[in-house]
A and B are shown apart, each in its own frame.
Chain A
Amino acid sequence: GENVEQHPSTLSVQEGDSAVIKCTYSDSASNYFPWYKQELGKRPQLIIDIRSNVGEKKDQRIAVTLNKTAKHFSLHITETQPEDSAVYFCAATDSWGKFQFGAGTQVVVTP
């Protein structure tokens, strides 16, 4: 089955700097890669996703890149703000829709 590894487990950045979180997956059949943000005490919320036929996707200050050959994908947050502080989860899903999540990255943005 699919196995998703996520790094780093914690990430501390100064406000205004960029944050990068990386995930690797094992199943070459995986074709959908969402990223979720979970603020303390709240439910995970989808922030961006990418499909296997696309190499990069941007939405304002966040972007995701996918390298199918190397089986890794990354989340990039630019100009970080305190409200970006949260736990971020990557996930990979196969054509059956079965999700495998990474262990999460705790991002702390300090003013």
Chain B
Amino acid sequence: KAGVTQTPRYLIKTRGQQVTLSCSPISGHRSVSWYQQTPGQGLQFLFEYFSETQRNKGNFPGRFSGRQFSNSRSEMNVSTLELGDSALYLCASSPVGKKETQYFGPGTRLLVL
């Protein structure tokens, strides 16, 4: 099976812009979680989607949003970008019945100038 894929892999934006990142889970996986990874902060949980519904949410401002489509692909959107949003954004998918077992994608590295 193909692994979790994320697009784009690298992105440069300027402050105030918005960005949309995409994640395609492993075939058959219906849960997708998103994380922000920054040096020194580790992985910060953003949100989790299952069957097109947000199941869990982390402590991020409303500028961070996401959605999941019927084919389990997920997108996250960040509006009004700030310099501090520069990070590696990772998504992870989980198989049905094993929601705790996460398989990570390669990440999207976002740089906000």
Contacts and interface: CB of A to CB of B under 8 A. Distances in A.
B112 to A, nearest CB: 20
A43 interface: yes
A97 interface: yes
Contacts of A1: 59
A97 B100 contact: yes
A91 B37 CA distance: 14
Given A43-B105, A43-B106, A98 B42 contact: no
Interface string A12-49: 00000000000000000000101010000011111001
29 contacts: A32-B100, A36-B104, A43-B4, A43-B90, A43-B104, A43-B106, A43-B107, A45-B104, A46-B101, A46-B103, A89-B42, A91-B43, A96-B56, A97-B55, A97-B56, A97-B94, A97-B99, A97-B100, A98-B45, A98-B56, A98-B58, A99-B43, A99-B45, A100-B45, A101-B42, A101-B43, A101-B45, A103-B42, A104-B42
Interface of B: 4, 31, 33, 35, 40-45, 48, 55-56, 58-59, 90, 94, 99-107
